[in-house]
Amino acid sequence: MSAEFMQYLLTGLTVGAIYALVALGFSIIFNASHVINFAQGEFVMIGGMATVSLTAAGLPYLLAIPLAVAAAALVGLALEKFAVEPARGASVITLIIITIGASIFLRGLALLVWDKNLHALKPFTGDAPIAFAGATILPQSLWVLGVTLAIVLALSWFFGRTLLGKAMLATSHNRLAAELAGINVRMVLFLSFGLSAALGAIAGILIAPITTTSYDVGVMLGLKGFAAAILGGLGSGVGAVVGGLALGIAESMSAGYLSSAYKDAIAFVIILVVLFFMPSGLFGKRGGERV
């Protein structure tokens, strides 16, 4: 029984860590612009697919992964520069629709640049499952958990200790005040897209050896990451991580103990219940507009 529980927990944590990384990407862009970037899932896909083709070209992981993350970040920056910025006067809804368009465009582009097939990446360190308290875990899952932890720590340092990070945080709290204090808000928005894209790409690379990747892998991961961000409270870093892990664990527990047919439904019911009592999510900013 407890071995079973352990297995569901480990599964949930691994999947949840990926949701958390995607959710963080949503939150960073949301903070900078109040835009929900629906192309976030596509960054996940670009990370995985670019690594696949770079390693197929003979590059070692140490080179291929940074290149793939950089490529995704560039796509993110280009998306901001050429799609979001020209429409900066437009309403948030318009911007969101632009990101939906961008996601369809990026998926189509991936179809042309790469192909329609599923691809597998080699695990970073071996394929042999590790036994742990009666359950098993793949070495790659440890990578997922470890790297996610490292990224969360790095991000909290970035937002807490660096000038640029503080500027981004300030923009999220009060855009006008930040601008008055001399923060280049446009630059913050620009960089937030790059940062989100890089996070998404890392998630895509970490998960590819476990789940395989393809041009349309971003759709579902993007949706789950979005749900995680909403659950945790859009815009909250802690919320994104907690939301992601909670969603992952809820899914695997309900698949294991209740019904695998309804596991997504159960996970989303939990989200709805939470949002009913806490409309801004677990860690979201409380209170409505002040008049």
Shortest gap between Cβ of 192 and other proteins (angstroms)?
Answer: 26
- C-alpha span between 77 and 85 (Å, rounded): 10
Give, rounded to a whole angstrom, the gap between the first and last alpha carbons of the chain. Answer: 54
Nearer to other proteins, 1 or 291 (CB): 1
Nearer to other proteins, 29 or 52 (CB): 52
Shortest gap between Cβ of 111 and other proteins (angstroms)?
Answer: 7
Nearer to other proteins, 112 or 291 (CB): 112
- C-alpha span between 258 and 279 (Å, rounded): 27
Shortest gap between Cβ of 7 and other proteins (angstroms)?
Answer: 5
Nearer to other proteins, 136 or 280 (CB): 136
Shortest gap between Cβ of 132 and other proteins (angstroms)?
Answer: 12
Best CA proximity match to 246, nearest among 23, 7, 2, 3: 23
* Identity of the amino acid at 79: L
C-alpha angle with apex 125: 62 to 157, nearest 5 degrees? 60
Shortest gap between Cβ of 203 and other proteins (angstroms)?
Answer: 11
* Identity of the amino acid at 173: H
- C-alpha span between 250 and 12 (Å, rounded): 7
CA-to-CA dists, residue 3 to 7, 8, 9, 10, 195, angstroms = 6, 9, 10, 11, 38
Shortest gap between Cβ of 90 and other proteins (angstroms)?
Answer: 31
Nearer to other proteins, 118 or 150 (CB): 118
Query: Burial letters for 45-68: b for 16+ Cβ neighbours within 10 Å, e otherwise?
Result: bbbbbbbbebbeeeeebeebbeeb
Could you count the other beta carbons within 10 Å of the beta carbon of residue 154?
A: 10
Residues within the interface to other proteins (CB under 8 A) = 4, 7-8, 10-12, 14-15, 18, 111, 116-120, 127, 129, 135-136, 138, 207, 210-212, 214, 216-217, 219-221, 251-253, 255-256, 260-261, 263-264
Nearer to other proteins, 122 or 173 (CB): 122
Nearer to other proteins, 195 or 207 (CB): 207
Shortest gap between Cβ of 131 and other proteins (angstroms)?
Answer: 9
C-alpha angle with apex 61: 63 to 229, nearest 5 degrees? 100
Nearer to other proteins, 50 or 217 (CB): 217
DSSP classification of residue 82: I
Residue 136 three-state SS: strand
Shortest gap between Cβ of 138 and other proteins (angstroms)?
Answer: 6
**Residues in CB range of 153: below 8 A, 6 or more apart:** none
**Residues in CB range of 58: below 8 A, 6 or more apart:** none
